[in-house]
Amino acid sequence: MLSGKNILLGITGGIAAYKTTFLVRLLIKAGAEVKVIMTESASSFVSPLTLATLSKNPVLLDFINEDDGSISWNNHVELGLWADIMLLAPATANTLSKMANGTCDNLLLATYLSAKCPVYFAPAMDLDMYKHPSTKKSFEALQSFGNVMIPAESGELASGLSGEGRMAEPENIIGFLQDHLSTGLPLSDKKVLITAGPTHEAIDPVRFLGNRSTGSMGFALAEHAAQLGAKVVLVSGPSNLTTSHANIELVRITSAQEMYEAVHQYFSEIDIAISAAAVADYRPKEVANQKIKKKADAPLELALERTKDILASMGTQKQQQFLVGFALETENELANAKAKLQRKNLDAIILNSLQDKGAGFGTTTNKITFIDKNLNVKAFELKTKAEVAADIWKEISNRVHA
């Protein structure tokens, strides 16, 4: 479950920090990519050099790096987006209280506030601190935000006392993460199919009909589903984008017919399908074997024929699947999208209006309206495509688990 995952390990200032050297080794052994952020006091308990060597990445200590006279910035937003999982171990009472209250006075806390991924925390403190109502309040607040607590263990404490408060042993933290990832994420039992990108319809060996879709919305949907634990098949037309998430099987195709065949190879096994591809509606009726030569005066006429409607075909075969389409409209948007939802037998449709600036193809942002089969309509603000993907998955998840 940890193989291929980007793990951001936040280490705070407690004696259990020395155990994070073993924790990093186990994470790397499990196939994870690890980046470490430490608070200043954590670096008194365990050497950043040791952790940088074990994690094979520089250890991040502050917002600003000053090396050899050059200054660079550790971007907490980028770190938050990079991570599939954020793990705080050991998590001290002080840092947990700051996290619960939105305090942001170091790189680790700023990254915590920026992270969109699941957050796990493994508290470590003396037994009375662990039992204190104020600490319990932090635990409750963080769990109410969706963060997951890896409970402390009982035993001998650094103070010489014995009781509850020891950080869970590194092997147990790994075991907890693995168990939780396989059962605890909202889409961990779901198989998801997503189509993305344009299709290219050959005219001759060197030319094609295509469109300006980049695939970014479909890829963002696939990444987010994988982060929520789903097994994802991403069928993409020609796109420069790629993905390395272990839960995503990327199937690259070129034409609408190839996309149709790939989709139908997987569809019967799928729980949720989202059709985000900009599939060509027409293709040349005949594909020339040789490059078409221009003629002096005569215009070139291409006869076109319809491609198969992949989404509509999924709609007719639908059984257990929750099926979602996209509609890109320029006028009578809501009415057209609702009609499309019913015509293609969908469970939901996501409307892009070309009248909204920043929506649709070739932008990093999108503005959507989510419509379900009961014709409930929810309009969202203009957001980045990663944020839009999160909104879409929240709407789908609510309905699939209802």
Tell me which residues touch ligand CTP (CB under 6 A).
Answer: 195, 256, 275, 277, 279, 281, 307, 309-311, 325-328, 340
Q: Would you say 164 or 309 has its CB closer to ligand CTP? A: 309
CA distance 172 to 179: 10
Q: For residue 302, report the phi and psi dihedrals to the nearest 5 degrees.
A: -110, 125
Task: Give the C-alpha separation, 122 to 140, whole Å.
Answer: 14
Q: Which residues contact 272 (CB under 8 A, 6 or more apart)?
A: 187, 190, 191, 192, 193, 225, 230, 321, 322, 323, 324, 396, 400
The whole-angstrom separation of Cα 29 and Cα 392 is 34
Which residue's CB is nearer to ligand CTP, number 62 or number 261?
261
172 annotated active-site: no
Least Å distance, CB 307 to ligand CTP, is: 5
- Bridge pairing between strands 272-275 and 322-329: parallel
Q: How far is the CB of 279 from ligand CTP (least distance, A)?
A: 3
Nearer to ligand CTP, 138 or 307 (CB): 307
DSSP string, 360-377: STT-SEE-EEEEETT--E
Rounded alpha-carbon distances, angstroms, from residue 76 to 63, 73, 90, 210: 8, 9, 20, 38
Is 400 strand, coil or helix? helix
Nearer to ligand CTP, 130 or 267 (CB): 267
Give residues with Cβ within 8 angstroms of 360, minimum separation 6.
Answer: 328, 352, 354, 366
For residues 323 and 219, what is the distance between their CA atoms, to the nearest angstrom? 17
Q: For the packed helices 93-101 and 133-144, what is the interaxial angle rounded to 10 degrees? A: 50
- Report whether 153 contacts 172 (CB < 8 A): yes
CB atoms within 10 A of CB 212: 9
Q: Shortest gap between Cβ of 231 and ligand CTP (angstroms)?
A: 21
Q: CA 128, CA 161: separation in Å to the nearest integer? A: 10
Q: How far is the CB of 280 from ligand CTP (least distance, A)?
A: 7
CB 288 to ligand CTP: min, Å: 23
Provide the β-strand partners of residue 120. Answer: 87, 148
C-alpha dihedral sign at 138, 139, 142, 145 = negative
Helices (H), ranges, 318-360: 333-343
For 250-266, the three-class secondary structure string (H helix, E strand, C coil) is EEECCCHHHHHHHHHHH
Smallest gap from residue 140 Cβ to ligand CTP (A): 42
The answer to whether 9 touches 27, Cβ cutoff 8 Å, is yes
The residue among 107 and 350 lying less far from ligand CTP, judged by its C-beta, is 350
Q: Rank residues 227 and 275 by Cβ distance to ligand CTP and give the closer one.
A: 275
Q: Determine which one of 172, 211, 336, 345 is catalytic.
A: 211
So which residues are the catalytic ones?
A: 211
